[in-house]
């Protein structure tokens, strides 16, 4: 393809999934206990989309990748020390909350506004990448709303593969039920792709890429635009961890039908 693509990846931080997450009622609404102290990682689905974007840009001359992140600036700076060594990108930062209680519409509006202001972005060559879901904001609608606010109606979700044809069109594999794929054809950019897991492994660390990226990452963090997204019109009566209940009995010589019947009775009770 002549000219390449302008690929914008939406992705932010989430708490490390190995940590215990305890919801609390904060002064501005629900939050996670000691959220700013929790180790953070790049959202897994956003990570897949970033690696797919970098691979596509590497194979299509003239392409460029931007990573647009909405989250606490201090936490993003810590994360970029490792992510910047993976692939080449230009960072755009929105300084705001990254918890799971933010409203998807407000998040989408903030992201779309930031993307709209990227200098030199060519909308006719734009591919908007992101996760099909999120480990924190798992409403599953954010990418669609970002695309709609940017006027992009060609949208594909649960994507595992994107192939660019010789004529510039795309062949896209989207996950559907039963472990099968829906094969879609798209004439070209602009388009929104919400990635599942893709086909690429996590790239190894490359200090040279890291040093090159950090020349733009640090200025981007310093110029971070405040994005005070909230919970919209949603009100929470309370937040708490699901209660755990365990009842164990050891019974010998019990038939499978009797076990199943007892489980059903326990669930109904």
What are residue 161's DSSP bridge partners?
Answer: 173
Decide: helix, strand or coil at residue 217: helix
* Helices (H) then strands (E): counts for the chain: 6, 13
Contact 208, 63 (CB under 8 A): no
What's the pLDDT at 33?
A: 74
Give me the helices (H) in the chain, please.
44-59, 73-83, 104-116, 142-149, 207-222, 256-268
The verdict on whether omega for the bond into residue 190 sits within 30 degrees of 0, i.e. cis, is yes
Task: Report the alpha-carbon distance of residue 113 to residue 64 in Å, rounded.
Answer: 19
CATH architecture of 6-226: 3-Layer(aba) Sandwich (3.40)
What's the pLDDT at 232?
A: 61
The one-character DSSP state at 25 is: E
Return phi, psi of residue 218, to 5°. Answer: -65, -45
Task: Report the alpha-carbon distance of residue 202 to residue 51 in Å, rounded.
Answer: 7
The one-character DSSP state at 178 is: G
Task: Report the alpha-carbon distance of residue 178 to residue 114 in Å, rounded.
Answer: 37
What are residue 192's DSSP bridge partners?
Answer: 128, 155
Domain boundaries, the chain: 6-226
Q: pLDDT (tens digit, 0 to 9) for every residue of the chain, 269 residues total?
A: 557 899 999 988 887 777 777 777 767 667 777 777 777 888 888 899 999 999 999 999 999 999 999 888 888 888 888 888 999 999 998 888 777 677 788 888 999 999 999 999 999 999 999 988 877 766 678 889 999 999 999 999 889 999 998 888 899 999 888 788 899 999 888 999 999 888 888 888 888 998 998 888 888 888 888 888 766 666 666 666 667 777 777 888 888 898 899 889 988 87
């Amino acid at each position: 393809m002549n000219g390449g693509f302008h690929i914008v990846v939406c992705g932010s931080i989430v708490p490390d999934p190995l940590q215990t997450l305890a919801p609390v009622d904060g002064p501005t609404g629900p939050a996670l206990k000691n959220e700013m102290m929790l180790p953070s990682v790049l959202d897994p689905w956003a990570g897949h989309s970033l690696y797919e974007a970098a691979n596509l840009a590497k194979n299509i001359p003239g392409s460029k990748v931007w990573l647009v992140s909405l989250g606490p600036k201090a936490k993003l700076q810590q994360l970029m020390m490792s992510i910047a060594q993976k692939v080449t990108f230009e960072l755009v930062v929105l300084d705001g909350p990254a918890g799971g209680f933010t409203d998807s519409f407000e998040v989408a509006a903030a992201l779309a506004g930031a993307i709209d202001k990227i200098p030199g972005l060519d909308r006719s060559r734009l591919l908007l990448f992101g996760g099909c879901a999120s480990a924190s904001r798992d409403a599953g609608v954010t990418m669609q709303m970002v695309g709609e606010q940017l006027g992009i109606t060609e949208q594909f979700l649960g994507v595992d593969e994107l192939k660019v044809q010789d004529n510039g069109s795309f062949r896209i594999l989207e996950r559907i039920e039963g472990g099968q794929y829906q094969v879609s054809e798209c004439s070209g950019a602009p388009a929104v792709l919400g990635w599942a897991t893709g086909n690429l492994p996590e790239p190894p660390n490359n200090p040279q890429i890291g040093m090159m990226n950090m020349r733009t990452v640090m200025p981007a963090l310093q110029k971070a635009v405040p994005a005070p997204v909230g919970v919209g019109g949603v009100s929470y009566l309370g937040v708490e961890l699901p209660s755990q209940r365990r009842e164990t009995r050891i019974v010998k010589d019990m038939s499978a039908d009797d076990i199943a019947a007892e489980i059903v009775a326990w669930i109904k009770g």
